[in-house]
């Protein structure tokens, strides 16, 4: 039931409002000061507050501000016997749903109440929709609308709260590290440490002492006891990056930790239990590495329990736009720029680019463009030259043979045109709107051509 709080010190107007709104079936409550109005609002019990501007204890504007801070979904209609236009404007600017001058007619009150309630209901609904959409499309701060990314988000959510070992594979720059962090921040271990180790960067002996720690004097340079990253990550997550290039000796030791959940410091025979979630990443094809004898098969099966493959950016056309806009907003804010937009040409170039460096490359391209661009739009000139040619040379990727016999132009061009459209559709995962952008034509032209060439 809709609950309205009448906050008015004047007994006469209290009574009028209670009677009028009571008849309409609203649940009512009355208070005569700012202090008394706040507890029910804070509890989220109240849908609407009718509040006199001269309310004792700070006034109606103060109550409005408090409500905005405490419970912004609660609507506020301000009432005043001496209200000026300025008061009304100020109240609306502060977020009041309406402003009524006293004396008011019953009709005026009812209209204002209905409108205010309708507005908050809409706001709530929008908020709920927006949250649902955000949850579906996002995981922490990982952007991904592509169906393969959505499936990955589902997996991550499902395994986040377990201690299962997770392997993330994919080309460099596809978001492996970001995903590992998201996995940690969604887990029950989120308040514990997230410790990152690049296993490809260190020689075996150093890596071992880095991960497992060492006892003083166990090798030259070990001047004091040192705890390793596994112990440092206790209660949290350890992220072992570039696992594919680690040495055979290290692989044996890692297998032991994963199986027994214990470590031994270098130079020490005691075993120390460790409570860590292990996430590993590699940009190598581990199956191939196993076949070539570069990666231990038993370790491969041990870390393969849950494995996530990050698709390269060129295979997720719908993400290019979502990511580009995400980075645009972020860098515009970081560099103190106002809202920025891509021109159609610039967006088409971004969509057509092959992105060998994946999301990392796109991120760099957008930051550079934000720094370079002069006005509120990002145009082709703000993008690296390599990207202009990606867009411009796309048609030339399917050239006519130089010695083709002469014939009607239209017929000669129909073949390559059809193939280009098919390529663009494939590139965009069948998304026609994006394919049209890549091709630099509008949607209706594309639909016309699809019909003409019988492409479905
Ligand atoms: N899906 C994504 N949403 C938002 N940012 C991303 C996404 N994927 C990658 N990034 C960003 O791109 C950059 C490269 O990602 P990273 O996780 O370091 O890739 P990898 O570890 O696979 O080389 C990082 O700055 C990261 O924040
Ligand atoms: Mg990484």
User: pLDDT tens digits for 234-290?
Assistant: 999 999 999 998 888 889 999 999 999 999 998 888 999 999 999 999 999 999 999
Q: How high is the pLDDT of residue 81?
A: 85
% of residues, the chain, pLDDT over 90: 55
| Ligand 1 atom 8, closest CA | 175
Residue range 8-26: average pLDDT? 91
In three-state form (DSSP H/G/I as H, E/B as E, the rest C), the secondary structure along the chain is CCEEEEECCCHHHHHHHHHHHHHCCCEEEEECCHHHHHHHHHCCCCCEEEEECCCCCCCHHHHHHHHHHHCCCCEEEEEECCCCHHHHHHHHHCCCCEEEECCCCHHHHHHHHHHHHHHHHHHHHHHHHHHHHHHHHEECCEECCCHHHHHHHHHHHHHCCCCCCEEEECCCCCCHHHHHHHHHHHCCCCCCCEEEEECCCCCHHHHHHHHHEECCCCCCCCCCCEECHHHHCCCCEEEEECHHHCCHHHHHHHHHHHHHCEECCECCCCCEECCCEEEEEECCCHHHHHHCCCCCHHHHHHHCCEEEECCCHHHCHHHHHHHHHHHHHHHHHHCCCCCCEECHHHHHHHHHCCCCCHHHHHHHHHHHHHHHCCCCEECHHHCCHHHHHHHHCCHHHCCCCCCCCCCCHHHHHHHHHHHHHHHHHHHCCCCHHHHHHHHCCCHHHHHHHHHHHCCC
Please state which CATH class domain 396-453 belongs to.
Answer: mainly alpha
Q: How high is the pLDDT of residue 445?
A: 87
pLDDT for residue 389 is more than 90: no
Mutate to test the pocket of ligand 1, among 149, 178, 194 (most ligand atoms within 8 A of CB): 178
* Residue 362 beta carbon below 6 angstroms from any ligand 1 atom: no
Q: How high is the pLDDT of residue 236?
A: 94
Comparing 191 with 416, the larger pLDDT belongs to 191
Q: What is the CA(253)–ligand 2 centre distance, in A?
A: 23
* Residue 177 beta carbon below 6 angstroms from any ligand 1 atom: yes
Which homologous superfamily does the CATH classification assign to the domain defined by 3-132? Response regulator (3.40.50.2300)
% of residues, the chain, pLDDT over 70: 92
Mutate to test the pocket of ligand 1, among 137, 171, 242, 360 (most ligand atoms within 8 A of CB): 360
pLDDT band for position 398 (50/70/90)? Answer: very low
Q: How high is the pLDDT of residue 405?
A: 59
Domain boundaries, the chain: 3-132, 142-311, 314-393, 396-453
pLDDT, tens only, 37-60: 999 998 888 999 999 999 999 999
pLDDT for residue 403 is more than 70: no
* Residue 172 beta carbon below 6 angstroms from any ligand 1 atom: yes
Average pLDDT over the chain reads 87
Q: How high is the pLDDT of residue 451?
A: 85
Q: How high is the pLDDT of residue 430?
A: 81
Q: How high is the pLDDT of residue 134?
A: 52
pLDDT band for position 223 (50/70/90)? Answer: confident
pLDDT band for position 179 (50/70/90)? Answer: very high
pLDDT for residue 416 is more than 50: yes
Atom of ligand 1 nearest to the CA of 142: 3
Q: What is the CA(179)–ligand 1 centre distance, in A?
A: 8
Please state which CATH class domain 142-311 belongs to.
Answer: alpha beta
| Ligand 1 atom 27, closest CA | 178
Among 151-165, 168-182, 217-231, 323-337, the range scoring the smallest mean pLDDT is: 217-231
Domains 314-393 and 396-453 share a fold: no
pLDDT for residue 180 is more than 90: yes
- Is CATH 1.10.8.60 the right assignment for the domain spanning 314-393? yes
pLDDT, tens only, 49-107: 999 999 999 999 999 999 988 888 899 999 998 877 788 888 888 889 999 988 889 99
Q: What is the CA(221)–ligand 2 centre distance, in A?
A: 30
Residue range 216-236: average pLDDT? 86
Q: How high is the pLDDT of residue 393?
A: 47
pLDDT for residue 306 is more than 70: yes
Q: How high is the pLDDT of residue 90?
A: 85
pLDDT, tens only, 122-133: 777 777 666 555
* Residue 174 beta carbon below 6 angstroms from any ligand 1 atom: yes
Q: How high is the pLDDT of residue 399?
A: 45
pLDDT for residue 118 is more than 60: yes
CB 376 within 8 A of CB 192: no
Comparing 360 with 222, the larger pLDDT belongs to 360
């Amino acid at each position: 039931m809709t609950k309205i709080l009448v906050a008015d010190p004047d007994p006469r107007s209290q009574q009028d409002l209670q009677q009028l709104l009571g008849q309409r079936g609203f649940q009512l409550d009355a208070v005569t000061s700012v202090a008394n109005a706040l507890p029910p609002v804070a509890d989220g019990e109240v849908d609407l507050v009718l509040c006199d501007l001269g309310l004792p204890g700070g006034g109606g504007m103060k109550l409005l501000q408090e409500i905005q801070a405490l419970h912004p979904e609660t609507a506020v209609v301000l009432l005043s016997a001496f209200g000026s236009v300025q008061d009304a404007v100020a109240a609306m600017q502060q977020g009041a749903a309406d402003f009524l001058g006293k004396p008011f007619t019953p009709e005026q009150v009812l209209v204002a109440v209905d409108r205010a309630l309708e507005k908050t209901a809409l706001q709530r609904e929008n908020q709920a929709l927006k949250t649902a959409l955000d949850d579906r499309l996002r995981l922490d701060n990982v952007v991904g609308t592509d169906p393969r990314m959505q499936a990955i988000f589902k997996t991550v959510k499902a395994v986040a709260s377990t201690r299962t070992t997770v392997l993330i594979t994919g080309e460099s720059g596809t978001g492996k590290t970001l995903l590992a962090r998201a996995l940690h921040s969604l887990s029950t271990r989120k308040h514990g440490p997230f410790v990152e180790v690049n296993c490809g960067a260190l020689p075996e002996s150093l890596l071992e002492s880095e991960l497992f720690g060492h006892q003083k004097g166990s090798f030259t340079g070990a001047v004091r006891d040192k705890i390793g990253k596994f112990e440092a990550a206790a209660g949290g997550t350890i992220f072992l990056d570039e696992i594919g290039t680690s040495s055979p000796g290290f692989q044996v030791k890692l297998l032991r930790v994963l199986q027994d959940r214990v470590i031994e410091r270098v130079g020490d025979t005691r075993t120390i239990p460790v409570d860590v979630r292990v996430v590993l990443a590699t940009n190598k094809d581990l199956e191939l590495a196993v076949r070539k004898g570069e990666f231990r098969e038993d370790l491969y099966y041990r870390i393969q329990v849950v494995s996530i493959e990050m698709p390269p950016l060129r295979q997720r056309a719908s993400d290019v736009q979502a990511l580009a806009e995400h980075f645009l907003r972020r860098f515009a804010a970081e560099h103190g720029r106002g809202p920025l937009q891509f021109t159609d040409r610039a967006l088409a170039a971004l969509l057509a680019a092959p992105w060998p460096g994946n999301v990392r490359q796109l991120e760099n391209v957008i930051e550079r463009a934000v720094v370079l661009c002069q006005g509120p739009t990002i145009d082709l000139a703000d993008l690296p030259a390599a990207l202009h040619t990606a867009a411009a040379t796309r048609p030339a990727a399917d050239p006519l043979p130089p010695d083709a016999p002469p014939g009607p132009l239209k017929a000669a061009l129909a073949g390559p045109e059809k193939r280009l459209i098919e390529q663009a559709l494939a590139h965009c995962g069948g998304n026609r709107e994006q394919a049209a952008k890549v091709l630099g034509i509008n949607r209706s032209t594309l639909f016309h051509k699809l019909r003409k060439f019988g492409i479905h």
